[in-house]
Structure 1
Amino acid sequence: MHSPKAKALYDHVDFLRNLINGRLAKGPREEESFPCYAKRSLKLNDGKDWSFLCSGMDLIGDTSLSLDHFLRFGMEGVSRYNEVGEKYLRLYGALNSTYIQQEAVFTICKLCQLSEQSAFRDRLEKLEIRDIRHKLGAHSIDYIDKQKEDVLSFVPVRFDMRGLHLNYINNNDLSQISVNLLSGINEHLDLMSDIIYATLEKIKKTLYKSNPDKIEEIDKGLEELRVKRAGGHVFDHEDGTRAIFSPVAENI
């Protein structure tokens, strides 16, 4: 993948999927439905939570791929034609990918009953890219400004749409806002990885608290996620030792 942050999130949810699949490897008891088995094994509140958990993981993976492609090729895409229509499609697609991802991640956060979910929700609602999505990708003609108690409308400036740079206009007062979609999406991806990482920690403590060997295995996986997210590399040797190479900060 092109984006290290999109790759980090993809790796986080892949680790989550493997952890859950491993927990369910034995299969249900005789005459026990799989949703009931998943509820019991994963300590979910309801049998139907399993389907939402699966959908959430799938959506996070799918949207990570779409955001990675957007960060790599910008609004122009891979086409050799400078098509305005494609720019709109990619802009709206990327903005709504962030929203789908946010809701999928937070759904998993709730299903796993994280104690930090209120704080995470507050951070999620304050994301710049979420506000841009609401203004341009969903409520362009009926955006509600809660502070001013007013309904506003917004449109992208067509001829300023290039790469990951975007200007848009508030048509109520004709003010213009300039945004860097790269920084907004990266901020979003960082938070998504934070939430999934906290979810992994919660699952470790909830499902494996009496299994020290499994906890040690999970901790190694979490360490690898942290190192890779920071731009480093992890190598496990056949003798069981582990080598960690962390990025070196450049002198300024």
Structure 2
Amino acid sequence: RNLINGRLAKGPREEESFPCYAKRSLKLNDGKDWSFLCSGMDLIGDTSLSLDHFLRFGMEGVSRYNEVGEKYLRLYGALNSTYIQQEAVFTICKLCQLSEQSAFRDRLEKLEIRDIRHKLGAHSIDYIDKQKEDVLSFVPVRFDMRGLHLNYINNNDLSQISVNLLSGINEHLDLMSDIIYATLEKIKKTLYKSNPDKIEEIDKGLEELRVKRAGGHVFDHEDGTRAIFSPVAENI
């Protein structure tokens, strides 16, 4: 968001509408793209807060009561937060005209958490299995909902599937990071190719994104130096 706001700091020309100014400054295809860009950035922030809370407190939440109703709310909320975030990130990917968007879309559609969302959080009673050309129904097993784990049942054949939501959400976050990384690389080359200071700032942000997603830490010191602590694989 700071990169986008920086490009718009000067303000529009006299008698120029803000959408037209945003289109010109950000090299968008259409003036309406600005509204979708804003919505996308807001939704990424909102859903990140939702998923962070879910990862920290699971389906039980912070309440001291073991409320089944809250578990359902948090499960459905988390699943749909991943879906909303996927579509928001991919919309920005399209607006920036990434050459990799087709490959990213393919990876997005194959995410485990996306399939779980379709089965439990959106199309529980009318899930279309394209391979079997059949309509299926799914429900969570109420008494197995705890932490970041649940089981759900395919009511057509009564098979039961066990799910680790942590691994599914982490897979989702890895893909979101990949798309955002590629998008920032494109923004860097498109909007700031003549501004080496801004390119350096973006590169530092990309480096931090890579390290943090790998489980490392980045510390910036007052003298301008940066310390990076990357995770070390354990010997097995």
- TM interval, shorter chain, is over 0.9
Task: Give distance in 2, aligned partners of 1:245 and 1:140.
Answer: 43
Instruction: Show the counterpart of 1:102.
Output: 86
**1:233 positional shift:** 3.1
Instruction: Show the counterpart of 1:200.
Output: 184
Structure 2 length as normaliser, TM-score?
0.95
Q: 1:240 to 1:87 in 2, by over 3 A?
A: closer
**1:237 positional shift:** 4.3
Instruction: Show the counterpart of 2:198.
Output: 214
Task: Give distance in 2, aligned partners of 1:110 and 1:158.
Answer: 39
Task: Give distance in 2, aligned partners of 1:52 and 1:179.
Answer: 33
Structure 1 length as normaliser, TM-score?
0.90
Q: 1:75 to 1:117 in 2, by over 3 A?
A: same
**1:231 positional shift:** 3.0
Q: Deviations over 1:179-232 (max 9, x none)?
A: 001100111011111101110000000111222232122212222222233333
Instruction: Show the counterpart of 1:117.
Output: 101
**1:240 positional shift:** 4.1
Q: 1:89 to 1:238 in 2, by over 3 A?
A: closer
Q: Deviations over 1:134-193 (max 9, x none)?
A: 001000000000011100000111111111111011011111111001100111011111
Q: 1:86 to 1:21 in 2, by over 3 A?
A: same
Task: Give distance in 2, aligned partners of 1:238 and 1:159.
Answer: 52
**1:127 positional shift:** 0.3
Structure 1 stretch displaced more, 214-223 or 169-178 = 214-223
Task: Give distance in 2, aligned partners of 1:135 and 1:96.
Answer: 11
**1:98 positional shift:** 0.6
**1:241 positional shift:** 3.6
Aligned residues: 236
Task: Give distance in 1, aligned partners of 2:51 and 2:85.
Answer: 10
Contact 2:50/2:78 (<8 A) preserved:
yes
In structure 1, stretches of 5+ residues that fail to align are 1-16
In structure 2, stretches of 5+ residues that fail to align are none
